[in-house]
């Protein structure tokens, strides 16, 4: 975690849990994090098993140009990222994993902005799976809140061990999420197929064909 909003919310959550896997939802006191509320949210798993917004802060709703309550979390993301985001949410819900993401928010007018998202598990029993989160912008350009973000594109994922809590909370290296933009480059030479093909997007292309 690099942005102060994420770090502050993590410390608050970590203090509340007091050595447990996660704090109870009832232990969260909005007054204790009032400076962060505009950017925070709570996810819950609905009857379909899909993570949806139970609550969302005013600035976060303004960033996306709509009320987010009841909105499906995964649908905010680029199609290529939706399955990854769903798996990470389920990991937070069920395994009490702390997840940190970086992503680019894209608008219909081709503007983009970098964000950091932190997802913190809450304890509520198997019938009430929830997670507390925050979305923090690296800066606030003049258009943010007026030109709505329509799609999130995942950049990196980091799983945080809350029991280690090093200086910058980087308990595991970030995993970069590759772009699906068309490329035609040779693959990593350590790859066993390195000398047999080249990578186009997420596929390995093998040169060859039938010899007549």
Q: Domains of the chain: which residue ranges?
A: 4-176, 180-212
d(CA 45, CA 47): 7
Choose between 203 and 48: higher pLDDT: 48
Assign residue 70 a region (left: φ > 0; alpha: ψ between -120 and 50; beta: otherwise).
left
pLDDT band at 179 (very low <50, low <70, confident <90, very high): very low
Task: Give the 3-state secondary structure of the chain.
Answer: CCCHHHHHHHHHHHHHHCCCCCCEHHHCCHHHHCCCHHHEEEEEECCCCCEEEEEECHHHHHHHCCCCCCCECHHHECHHHHHHHHHHHHHHHHHCCEEEEEEEEEECCCCEEEEEEEEEEEECCCCCCEEEEEEEECCCCCCCCCCCEEEEEEEEEEEECCCCCCCCCCCCCCEECCCCCCCCEECCCCCCCCCCEEEECCEEEECCCCCC
**In the structure, what pLDDT confidence band is assigned to residue 163 with cuts at 50, 70 and 90?**
confident
17: left (phi over 0), alpha (psi -120 to 50) or beta: alpha
> Higher pLDDT residue, 200 or 3?
3
What topology does CATH give the domain 4-176? Beta-Lactamase (3.30.450)
Select the more confidently predicted residue: 199 or 154: 154
* pLDDT for residue 138: 84
Nearest Cα to Cα of residue 82 among 129, 50, 125: 50
- On average, the pLDDT of the chain sits at 83
Distance, CA of 65 to CA of 67 (rounded, Å): 7
Q: Please write the tens of the pLDDT for every residue from 81-117.
A: 999 999 999 999 999 999 999 999 999 999 999 999 9
**Residue 197 · residue 205 · CB < 8 Å:** yes
Residue 190 pLDDT > 90? no
Contacting residues for 11 by C-beta, under 8 A, at least 6 apart: none
For the record, the structure tokens of 146 come out as: 């007026």
The per-residue pLDDT for 207 is: 53
Per-residue pLDDT of 118-156, as tens digits, reads 999 999 767 779 999 999 998 999 999 999 999 999 999
Q: What predicted TM-score, i.e. pTM, was given to this entire model? A: 0.77
Burial class (CB in 10 A: 0-12, 13-18, 19+), 190: exposed
**Which position has the higher pLDDT, 169 or 162?**
162
Tens digit of each residue's pLDDT (9 = 90 or more) over 40-87: 999 999 988 899 999 999 999 999 999 999 999 999 999 999 999 999
For 91, other C-beta atoms within 10 Å of its C-beta total 17
């Amino acid at each position: 975690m690099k942005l102060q909003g994420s770090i502050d919310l993590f410390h608050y959550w970590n203090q509340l849990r007091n050595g447990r896997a996660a704090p109870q939802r009832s232990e969260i006191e909005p007054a204790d994090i009032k400076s962060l509320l505009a950017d925070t949210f709570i996810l819950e798993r609905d009857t379909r098993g899909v993570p949806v917004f139970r609550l969302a802060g005013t600035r976060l709703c303004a960033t996306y140009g709509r009320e987010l309550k009841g909105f499906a979390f995964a649908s905010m993301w680029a199609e290529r990222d939706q399955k990854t985001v769903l798996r990470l949410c389920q990991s937070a819900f069920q395994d009490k994993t702390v997840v940190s993401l970086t992503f680019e928010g894209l608008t219909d007018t081709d503007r983009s902005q970098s964000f950091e998202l932190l997802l913190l598990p809450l304890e509520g029993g198997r019938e009430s799976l929830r997670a507390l989160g925050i979305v923090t912008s690296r800066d606030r350009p003049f258009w943010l809140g007026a030109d709505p973000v329509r799609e999130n594109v995942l950049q990196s994922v980091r799983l945080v061990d809350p029991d280690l809590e090093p200086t910058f909370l980087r308990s595991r290296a970030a995993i970069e999420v590759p772009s699906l933009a068309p490329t035609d480059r040779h693959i990593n030479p350590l790859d066993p197929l390195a000398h047999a093909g080249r990578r186009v997007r997420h596929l390995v292309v093998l040169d060859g064909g039938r010899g007549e």
